[in-house]
Amino acid sequence: MIVGGGQIYKEAMPKASTLYITRIHAQPDGDTKFPEIHEDEWELAERTPFDRGEKDSADSSLEIYRRRL
């Protein structure tokens, strides 16, 4: 499991075989972004949407990507 800033994510990507990405469907301020997930390298295996809860400000979804061989 990798939890970190943009540079840590970038350095870990070549070693990953599966990505578990939680997407928050909002546009918050900030300067740290997860690296782009390229379709030629990664395949979306599953997407599960979640409605926002009463304490949440946005909907979200869990996306699971598998590295293409």
* Count of helices and strands (H, E) across the chain: 1, 3
Query: What confidence tens digit (pLDDT) does each residue in 11-34 have?
Result: 999 999 999 999 999 998 888 888
Please report which confidence band the pLDDT of residue 59 belongs to, taking 50, 70 and 90 as the band edges.
very high
pLDDT number for residue 1: 85
Number of C-beta neighbours around residue 24 at 10 A: 14
Residue 56: CA count within 13 A, CB half-sphere: 10
pLDDT number for residue 5: 84
Tell me the whole-structure pTM to 2 decimals.
0.85
pLDDT number for residue 24: 93
Query: What confidence tens digit (pLDDT) does each residue in 38-56 have?
Result: 999 999 999 999 999 999 9
